[in-house]
Amino acid sequence: MNEEIVRIAAKGDGVTETGRHVSGAVPGDILLEDGALERGAHYVDPPCQHFSRCGGCQLQQADEDALRDFVTQRVLGALEGQGLEPVEVLPTHLSPPHSRRRATLHAMRTHKGAVIGFREAGSHTIVDLRECLVLRKELTEQIQPLRGLISKCAGKGAVDIGMALCDQGVDLSLTNVALDNLEATEATLDYAREHQLARLSIDQGFGPETVWEPEPVTISMPGLPVAMPVGAFLQATCDAEDVMIADAREWLDGASPVADLFAGLGTFTFGLTKGRKVLAVEAERATHLACKNAAGRTGGRAFAIHRDLFRNPLQPEELNKFGGVLLDPPRAGAKAQIAQIAASTVANVVYVSCNPSSWARDAAKLIEAGFRLQKLRPVGQFRWSTHVELTSQFTR
Cβ(206)–Cβ(73) below 8 Å = no
Beta bridge partners of 89: 376
Active site residue 354: yes
Q: What is the DSSP code (8-state) at residue 227?
A: E
Q: What is the DSSP code (8-state) at residue 322?
A: -
Report the chain's C-alpha Rg in angstroms: 23
Q: How many CB atoms lie within 10 A of CB 193?
A: 12
Cβ(8)–Cβ(27) below 8 Å = yes
CA distances from 214 to 146, 168, 189, 190, 211 (A): 20, 9, 11, 13, 10
CB burial string 336-348: b at 16+ within 10 A, e below? ebbbbbbebebeb
For 371, residues 6+ apart whose C-beta sits below 8 A from its C-beta are: 342, 349, 394, 395, 396
Q: Using CA atoms, how far apart are residues 326 and 70, in angstroms rounded to an integer?
A: 26
For 318, residues 6+ apart whose C-beta sits below 8 A from its C-beta are: none
CA 302, 242, 56, 359 dihedral sign is positive
**DSSP-derived 3-state class of residue 75:** helix
CA 26, 29, 32, 37 dihedral sign is negative
Annotated catalytic residue, options 54, 153, 166, 354: 354
Return the active site residues.
Answer: 354
